[in-house]
């Protein structure tokens, strides 16, 4: 699957949730998808947790 297909699927799910359950359900589902994507990237090794923490703390790295 490429990014376009995944993006379209995510958009469809969010649109269905927004129409059927309302705005706050849309926000909760979107937040859960974001957390799931972050966890997936951490588990697969695509995201370094230490670098992410440094960025969130405002620290800069030269490497």
pLDDT band at 63 (very low <50, low <70, confident <90, very high): low
Give the CA distances from residue 40 to residues 16, 44, 45, 55, 62, in Å, rounded to whole numbers and listed in that order: 23, 6, 9, 19, 26
Average pLDDT, the chain: 88
CA–centroid distance for 56 within its chain: 16
- State mean pLDDT over 28-54: 89
Q: Which pLDDT does position 18 carry in this prediction?
A: 93
Number of alpha carbons in the 13 Å side-chain half-sphere of residue 57: 9
- Domain range summary for the chain, segments of one domain joined by +: 3-57
Is pLDDT above 70 for 62? no
Q: How far apart (Å, rounded) are the C-alpha atoms in residues 41 and 24? A: 26
């Amino acid at each position: 699957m490429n990014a376009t297909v995944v993006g379209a699927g995510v958009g469809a799910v969010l649109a269905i949730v927004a129409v059927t359950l309302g705005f706050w359900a849309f926000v909760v589902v979107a937040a859960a998808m974001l957390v799931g994507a972050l966890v997936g990237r951490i588990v697969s090794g695509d995201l370094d947790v230490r670098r992410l923490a440094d960025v969130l703390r405002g620290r800069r790295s030269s490497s």
